[in-house]
Amino acid sequence: MPPAPLPHQLGELSELLGQMCAEAAGALNRATTAMLGDRVRLAEQVIAGDSEIDNLRARVEELATDALLFHAPVAGDLRAVVSAIRAAGDIERMGDLALHVAEVVRMRHPRPTLPPEVRDDFARMGVLAVQLALKAAEVVRSRNVLMAVELDSDDDAMDVLHRHMFTVLMDPSWPHGVPAAVDITLLARYYERFADHAVVVANQTVYAVTGQEPDSIPI
């Protein structure tokens, strides 16, 4: 059976990447809900569902390989295929980070994962990270360069929350000890890295469409 035409394959790659981003957003949303509500069964659902994102990455790589072998794309088409492979790796990592959040919830059960002092901050980090992933999904589907460049600015809010977490943990009056501080440091890092990977996915789209680095594209 002959392969699909290259434009069709490129469209399918964009759709698969968008689906991956949406899956990662959903996984982190559920992991955050589990963490804030101490819902270990929901955390276990996130853990069990991680393979879905892995399977989507495998489909992206298989389709991209077919495009390279059967169509030998050049210029913008080649950038689109290579960028799809790279983006799929970043999105899979986003899923892994959601998985790590869920694993912490399961590990700490039946004790609460978070002390009261940081719950609101993590709630905000969760909302922001999910929004970034969903925006990345729209970017890879629509190939909207201006929206892609905006993600870098959106990520600044996550960086502010991440830095604030260290201010809380370094306060001499912190009452929860070292183990809780270690957990919170790791969890905050998971959210910060999740957001960073969403930005990288958007940046890959900018490069695929324009051949330029995102910093050179005016908003």
At 154 the pLDDT is: 84
**How far are the Cα atoms of 108, 116, 148, 154, 196 from residue 124, in angstroms, in the given order?**
21, 14, 22, 13, 16
User: Would you say residue 29 lies in a domain?
Assistant: yes
CATH number for position 209: 1.20.58.220
Using the predicted structure, report yes or no on whether residue 174 has a pLDDT greater than 90: no
Residue with tokens 């919170």: 184
User: Would you say residue 218 lies in a domain?
Assistant: no
Using the predicted structure, report yes or no on whether residue 152 has a pLDDT greater than 90: no
At 215 the pLDDT is: 63
Residue 97 CA neighbour count, 13 Å, CB half: 28
Q: Which of 52, 54, 191, 34 is nearest to 102 (CA)?
A: 34
Domain that holds residue 31: 6-213
User: Would you say residue 94 lies in a domain?
Assistant: yes
Using the predicted structure, report yes or no on whether residue 59 has a pLDDT greater than 60: yes
Please state which of the ranges 54-58, 68-72, 116-120, 138-142 shows the lowest mean pLDDT: 68-72
For helices 75-108 and 40-48, what crossing angle results, to 10°? 150
| Alpha helices, H only, 72-176 | 75-108, 116-142, 145-170
Q: Identify the residue with better confidence: 219 or 129.
A: 129
User: Would you say residue 90 lies in a domain?
Assistant: yes
User: Would you say residue 97 lies in a domain?
Assistant: yes
User: Would you say residue 153 lies in a domain?
Assistant: yes
User: Would you say residue 71 lies in a domain?
Assistant: yes
Number of domains the chain contains: 1
Confidence grade of residue 73 (pLDDT, cut at 50, 70, 90)? confident
User: Would you say residue 72 lies in a domain?
Assistant: yes
At 29 the pLDDT is: 98
What is the percentage of the chain residues whose pLDDT exceeds 70? 96
**Residue 72 CB neighbours (<10 A):** 10
Q: Are 203 and 147 in contact (CB under 8 A)?
A: no
| Dihedral sign (CA 22, 91, 62, 86) | positive
- Tens digits of residue pLDDT in 117-145: 899 999 999 999 999 999 999 999 999 99
pTM: 0.93
